[in-house]
Chains A and B, each alone.
Chain A
Amino acid sequence: MRILFGLLSGLVFGLGLVISGMSDPAKVLNFLDVFGAWDPSLAFVMGGASVTAYIGYRLVWRRPAPVLMQSFDMPDTTRVDAPLLTGAALFGIGWGIGGFCPGPAWTALTFAAPGTLVFLPMMLIGLYAGRQIKARMSP
């Protein structure tokens, strides 16, 4: 069941990325280029996604527990610390260079553009490295 519904959730997420245009780096980079070839479409993606999740979360939180797990398990850190700020800044720079954040990088895989095939493995190496750095920064 977990595998089936995991697959289904990923499929819906991926369909959203492709239909919204978020999995197209050209569209992402144009969204970020306010003083050039600006394409404001991605504001609608973030708006639609956040508002839907805001309403939907409050509906599912009425249940005592999620359907397939024992309990809700949410990040409990509230601190704004150095790893958060450094990491978010780095992520923004990389996003601005490549036009990919992690979700679209996976979704774009089957389009098999050379840029994607280089980006994704490097992202996985970075994820691994970032976890090691984070463990050292906040023991």
Chain B
Amino acid sequence: MLPIVTTAFTPFASLFGGVLIGLSAVMVMGLFGRIAGITGITAGGISVVDPTQATARDWSWRLAFLVGLIAAPLLVTAVAGEVPHSVPTDLWGMAAAGLIVGTGTALGSGCTSGHGVCGLARLSKRSAVAVLMFMAFAFVTVFIIRHVWV
């Protein structure tokens, strides 16, 4: 059992950060006419190494988006200093989690951003079902790991 890192309740920072995420989704829709789904953007961005994929023709802005995503914390730490960050240290677990997340989001055509933020904003029923499904499974998984499997 891994130690549980406690975190502070941050309603204002979280709300502000959430508004920024929504703003980025609106930028992507207004500029590119697309859903700001990180699953699709990742697949499109890395299709530069596999041009047989259908999304290959529009990879340039998606790859640039990923660069922005990676660069963001450098900007925050330069301005505000250290930010709290704690990643699980069980590397086999993280490897399995990565593989499952990748497979699941590709199969389910989206993740927290595509189905969550953008799908809900579009009032897509399909996305709402996906959100309920992955939230339920995430809650149950954490419950089992932290309270059953101790």
Instruction: Answer whether A94 and B98 are a contact pair too, CB < 8 Å, given A127-B105, A131-B106.
Output: yes
Contacts of A88 in B (CB 8 A): 104, 108, 115, 129-131, 133-134, 137
Contacts of B83 in A (CB 8 A): 18, 24
Instruction: Answer whether A92 and B103 are a contact pair too, CB < 8 Å, given A3-B60, A9-B65, A101-B112.
Output: no
For A80, the closest partner residue in chain B by CB is: B129
Instruction: Answer whether A15 and B75 are a contact pair too, CB < 8 Å, given A40-B9, A53-B118, A69-B33.
Output: yes
Determine if B71 and A14 form an interchain contact, defined as CB atoms under 8 angstroms apart. Answer: yes
The proximity string for B residues 52-86 relative to A, scoring 1 for CB distances below 8 Å and 0 otherwise, is: 01000000111111111111111110000001111
Docked Cα-Cα span, A77 to B130, in Å, equals 13
Docked Cα-Cα span, A49 to B121, in Å, equals 9
Determine if A118 and B21 form an interchain contact, defined as CB atoms under 8 angstroms apart. Answer: no
Interface of B is mostly: helix
Contacts of B75 in A (CB 8 A): 11, 15
Instruction: Answer whether A96 and B26 are a contact pair too, CB < 8 Å, given A4-B64, A53-B118, A88-B104.
Output: no
For A14, the closest partner residue in chain B by CB is: B72
Tell me, rounded to whole Å, the shortest Cβ–Cβ distance linking A69 to chain B. Answer: 5
Tell me, rounded to whole Å, the shortest Cβ–Cβ distance linking A49 to chain B. Answer: 4
Instruction: Answer whether A12 and B20 are a contact pair too, CB < 8 Å, given A72-B33, A91-B101, A106-B69.
Output: yes
Docked Cα-Cα span, A37 to B142, in Å, equals 11
Docked Cα-Cα span, A131 to B139, in Å, equals 26
Tell me, rounded to whole Å, the shortest Cβ–Cβ distance linking A117 to chain B. Answer: 9
Determine if A45 and B68 form an interchain contact, defined as CB atoms under 8 angstroms apart. Answer: no
Docked Cα-Cα span, A97 to B109, in Å, equals 20
Can you name 19 extra interface pairs (CB under 8 A) apart from A46-B18, A130-B106, A134-B109?
A9-B24, A10-B65, A13-B25, A14-B71, A19-B20, A45-B14, A52-B22, A53-B117, A53-B118, A57-B122, A67-B30, A87-B106, A91-B108, A94-B100, A98-B98, A105-B98, A122-B94, A125-B99, A126-B104
Could you write out 23 A-B pairs with CB less than 8 Å apart?
A: A9-B27, A20-B20, A26-B87, A27-B84, A32-B142, A40-B9, A50-B117, A57-B29, A60-B26, A69-B31, A85-B108, A85-B129, A86-B104, A87-B107, A87-B108, A88-B115, A90-B108, A95-B134, A103-B113, A113-B85, A114-B91, A126-B104, A130-B105
User: A residues near B, CB below 8 A?
Assistant: 2-27, 29-30, 32-37, 39-42, 44-54, 56-57, 59-61, 63, 65-69, 71-75, 77-80, 83-103, 105-111, 113-116, 118-131, 133-134, 137
